[in-house]
Amino acid sequence: MCGIVAYVGGRRAFPILIKGLQRLEYRGYDSAGVGLINDKKIITYKQAGKVSDLLEFIGDSDTSGSIGIGHTRWATHGPPSQINSHPHSSSNSQFSLIHNGIIENYSSLKKVLEEKGHVFKSDTDSEVLMHLIEDVYNNGNDLVDDPKWDDDDDNTLFKAIRVALNEVVGAYAIVVLEEGNPNEFYAARKGSPLVIGIGNSEYFVASDASPIIEYTDKVIYLEDGEVAKLNKNQDVVIKTILNEDKSPYIQKLEQSLESIEKGGFDHFMLKEIFEQPKSITDTMRGRINPKTNDIILGGIKEFESQIVAAERIIIIACGTSWHAGLIGEYIIEDLARINVEVEYASEFRYKNPILTNKDIVIAISQSGETADTLSALEIAQEKGALTLGICNVVGSSITRVTSGGVYTHAGPEIGVASTKAFTAQVTVLSLIALRFCQLKKTVPRGNYNFLIKELIEIPKKIEKLLSLNKDIMKIAMVFKDASNFLYLGRGFNFPVALEGALKLKEISYIHAEGYPAAEMKHGPIALIDEEMPIVVIATRKENYEKIISNIQEVKARGGKLIAIVTEGDIEVKSIADYCIEIPKCFRELTPLINIIPLQLLSYHIALMRNCDVDQPRNLAKSVTVE
Ligand code: F6R
């Protein structure tokens, strides 16, 4: 989704903005722009395409100035074009705005503004917000009824932004520049993330910490409904849109610069796939007592008795996180014997769900900013359920609105296709299942200890599996031109089949379907012919004999079989066209390792098809719109 970066201070703003926009490229976008105050006037450059297209467009033009705003736009209202790109100017070019989010009531606001004589150049909701702020600035509260307007003596643009935002329905993170004011700008947020970095007489603003990290580790996460005035010669001033003063809460950023760089790999996705032994270790770190094998999950400890007594757990999530949730359903039900339902957040929010205060709702999200998941949580809270989160991004919105939760600690995930965040989510869900089977005594102690031992061994097994990268590349070469793929799995590995298919379609644009293997004969079998590659997860113990029957059905129709098997397997090997051998592992934990070759297969196929692996077309890393 859209990316925001802004700078005010003593340095040249332009290189900071461009580098920041490049760091935000992973979020997904289709146009880019910058606005600078140069000799007191605002200069704007914007262009459809990538940041590199913007740079080419700017060429040798003047980019001086030590204050500026930059934006990458992921098109919502209107196609990717120069005119729809940000920044957007006010009618008289006195102000310039960048915006991430969606102004849901933009068309009614636009109508009122048009009646007042405003003329719009773009199709965007963001330009409407710019004009609304301008109108309030020029005409006071004739559009907006704010009793505090007249007796407030702070800067007029600061006030106009606050008052205008009271009229807005929807989500926003904005930064606004004012002509003739090269020392300060304003930033505000509701529903879309925004971080302020504090340097030495300088401020940075960005959608996430990645553009800020190399300049400062002092940050403020702006809260919903807050507006900040950032003047390089003054301390931060924060007010709510209702004009209440807020004390800035300055935090230390825990990320490192290396964590957001490629570290010798060709792509972030490959780096993140290879990081999984470490990221899973980080997810487990400090959470398993080495002497007693007890699991400690500090963020949900105070709710343990409520979870034990719960009638059910409802997991809400989207995309890959939803697949992790499905694995959670299998493992929590199997080990802890708690009823689990897994819902697409986007469906849950509109289906009038039946919930009581005995239900536990767990939101799973890498970014912690997914709009559908956040809205579903709101509904769960309204209905009295306890809400918890499993998130990767520290300080993200979901972590702030839930009562408790467990961080995945996978480190920043930059590749749009989720890999290490998925295995970290599954690790957390396994820890939760193990913790509650221990509390509920649903698994004998001996078996529990074996499971813990196995979980601790997983990173080593993944390490071993990653050494098969070249073999997987060879399989990718054979199937890179396929038009369709079918992924089959059963039990714990049915969601792995779904996730394998999602990875392939996201980054290689090959149509792929995941299915529970036994369901194949109820429809998808009609698709199978000699052109159809079928990836089957056929590791031992997971309905192995049944899977072999499903494999025979595929072979009988000429399908090409790529099988994921347990090392030493003979039976499947004798039938399948290609096999990838997985280290032996307990059934409950196989998803953590079975997904690795599927991630690699997708990566290599996408690369061989010349696809942009890290920034696939049309996709955004953090989906902050409905
Ligand atoms: C797939 C992918 C998406 C996300 C989904 C949810 O590779 O990245 O399907 O999983 O958009 O995002 P989060 O987990 O940030 O809520």
pLDDT digits (tens, 9 = 90+) for 8-19: 999 999 999 999
Both structure tokens of 6: 């802004």
CA–centroid distance, 370 to ligand 1, in Å, is 8
- Confidence at residue 551, expressed as pLDDT on a 0 to 100 scale: 87
- Confidence at residue 141, expressed as pLDDT on a 0 to 100 scale: 63
Kindly report the protein residue whose alpha carbon is nearest to atom 9 of ligand 1.
319
CA–centroid distance, 403 to ligand 1, in Å, is 22
What's the whole-number mean pLDDT along residues 204-211? 94
Q: Which of 366, 392, 402 to mutate to test the pocket of ligand 1 (most atoms within 8 A of CB)?
A: 366
What's the whole-number mean pLDDT along residues 256-264? 82
What's the whole-number mean pLDDT along residues 157-162? 94
Pairing of strands 184-190, 340-344: unpaired
C-beta separation of 284 from 611 below 8 A: no
Kindly report the protein residue whose alpha carbon is nearest to atom 16 of ligand 1.
365
Q: Which residues does 216 contact at the CB level (< 8 Å), separation at least 6? A: 197, 198, 199, 204, 253
Kindly report the protein residue whose alpha carbon is nearest to atom 7 of ligand 1.
417
Active site residues: 2, 621
Index of the ligand 1 atom closest to the CA of residue 322: 10
Spell out the domain ranges in the chain. Answer: 3-258, 262-463, 468-613
Q: Which residues does 255 contact at the CB level (< 8 Å), separation at least 6? A: 209, 210, 213, 411, 412
Index of the ligand 1 atom closest to the CA of residue 620: 11
- Confidence at residue 108, expressed as pLDDT on a 0 to 100 scale: 95
CA–centroid distance, 321 to ligand 1, in Å, is 6
Q: Higher confidence at residue 134 or residue 558?
A: 134
CA–centroid distance, 511 to ligand 1, in Å, is 18
Sheet holding 511-516, edge to edge: 511-516, 484-489, 533-538, 560-566, 578-582
Residue 117 confidence (pLDDT) above 60:
yes
Quote helix, strand, coil % in the chain, to nearest 5.
40, 20, 35
CA–centroid distance, 419 to ligand 1, in Å, is 10
Closest listed residue to residue 304, CA positions, set 438, 446, 455, 456: 438
Distances (CA, A) of 601 to 237, 607, 619: 50, 10, 20
Residue 192 confidence (pLDDT) above 90:
no
Pocket of ligand 1 (CB under 6 A): 318-321, 365-367, 370, 373, 417-418, 502, 506, 622-623
CA–centroid distance, 619 to ligand 1, in Å, is 10
How far is residue 218's CA from residue 251's CA, in Å, rounded to a whole number? 6
Domains 262-463 and 468-613 alike in fold: yes
How far is residue 471's CA from residue 482's CA, in Å, rounded to a whole number? 18
Closest listed residue to residue 424, CA positions, set 300, 591, 312, 291: 591
Index of the ligand 1 atom closest to the CA of residue 419: 7
How far is residue 160's CA from residue 111's CA, in Å, rounded to a whole number? 19
- Confidence at residue 303, expressed as pLDDT on a 0 to 100 scale: 97
Give 473-524 as a DSSP string. Answer: HHHHHHHTT-SEEEEEE-GGGHHHHHHHHHHHHHHH--EEEEEEGGGGGGTG
Q: Which of 267, 321, 622 to mutate to test the pocket of ligand 1 (most atoms within 8 A of CB)?
A: 321
Please give the single-letter amino acid code of residue 437.
Answer: C
- Confidence at residue 97, expressed as pLDDT on a 0 to 100 scale: 98
Sheet holding 88-89, edge to edge: 88-89, 95-100, 172-178, 184-190, 226-231, 237-240, 245-246
Residue 546 confidence (pLDDT) above 90:
no
φ/ψ of residue 443, rounded to 5: -130, 135
Specify the CATH number of the domain 468-613.
3.40.50.10490
CA–centroid distance, 293 to ligand 1, in Å, is 32
How would you label 518-530 residue by residue, b for 16+ Cβ within 10 Å and e otherwise?
bebeeeebeebee
- Confidence at residue 524, expressed as pLDDT on a 0 to 100 scale: 85
- Confidence at residue 152, expressed as pLDDT on a 0 to 100 scale: 55
CA–centroid distance, 366 to ligand 1, in Å, is 7
Kindly report the protein residue whose alpha carbon is nearest to atom 10 of ligand 1.
320
Index of the ligand 1 atom closest to the CA of residue 621: 8
Kindly report the protein residue whose alpha carbon is nearest to atom 11 of ligand 1.
319
Index of the ligand 1 atom closest to the CA of residue 623: 11
* pLDDT-above-90 percentage for the chain: 80
Pairing of strands 484-489, 511-516: parallel
Specify the CATH number of the domain 3-258.
3.60.20.10
How far is residue 181's CA from residue 158's CA, in Å, rounded to a whole number? 12
Chain-centre distance for alpha carbon 601: 22
How far is residue 222's CA from residue 214's CA, in Å, rounded to a whole number? 20
Express each pLDDT in 217-235 by its tens digit. 999 999 999 999 999 999 9
Closest listed residue to residue 67, CA positions, set 91, 40, 86: 40
Kindly report the protein residue whose alpha carbon is nearest to atom 5 of ligand 1.
319
* pLDDT-above-70 percentage for the chain: 97
Taking the model in full, what pTM does it have? 0.86
Residue 121 confidence (pLDDT) above 80:
yes
- Confidence at residue 518, expressed as pLDDT on a 0 to 100 scale: 85
Please give the single-letter amino acid code of residue 554.
Answer: V
Index of the ligand 1 atom closest to the CA of residue 317: 16
- Confidence at residue 622, expressed as pLDDT on a 0 to 100 scale: 77
Q: Higher confidence at residue 456 or residue 153?
A: 456
Label residue 145 by pLDDT band (50, 70, 90).
low
Which of the residue ranges 98-102, 310-314, 527-531 would you say has the lowest mean pLDDT? 527-531
Q: Higher confidence at residue 349 or residue 179?
A: 179
How would you label 230-262 residue by residue, b for 16+ Cβ within 10 Å and e otherwise?
bbbeeebbbbbbebeebeeeeeebebeeeebbe
Q: Which residues does 571 contact at the CB level (< 8 Å), separation at least 6? A: 548
Label residue 424 by pLDDT band (50, 70, 90).
very high
- Confidence at residue 149, expressed as pLDDT on a 0 to 100 scale: 54
What's the whole-number mean pLDDT along residues 472-480? 97
Label residue 301 by pLDDT band (50, 70, 90).
very high
Which of the residue ranges 383-392, 472-481, 512-521 would you say has the lowest mean pLDDT? 512-521
Residue 146 confidence (pLDDT) above 60:
no
Residue 446 confidence (pLDDT) above 80:
yes
Label residue 260 by pLDDT band (50, 70, 90).
confident
Index of the ligand 1 atom closest to the CA of residue 320: 10
Index of the ligand 1 atom closest to the CA of residue 319: 9
Both structure tokens of 15: 């290189």
Express each pLDDT in 411-420 by its tens digit. 999 999 999 9
Cβ–Cβ contacts within 10 Å for residue 279, how many?
25
- Level-2 CATH architecture, domain 262-463: 3-Layer(aba) Sandwich (3.40)
Please give the single-letter amino acid code of residue 332.
Answer: I
CA–centroid distance, 409 to ligand 1, in Å, is 16
Please give the single-letter amino acid code of residue 511.
Answer: H
What's the whole-number mean pLDDT along residues 43-61? 96
CA–centroid distance, 622 to ligand 1, in Å, is 7
Q: Which of 269, 327, 369, 370 to mutate to test the pocket of ligand 1 (most atoms within 8 A of CB)?
A: 370
Express each pLDDT in 318-373 by its tens digit. 999 999 999 999 999 999 999 999 999 999 988 989 998 899 999 999 999 999 99
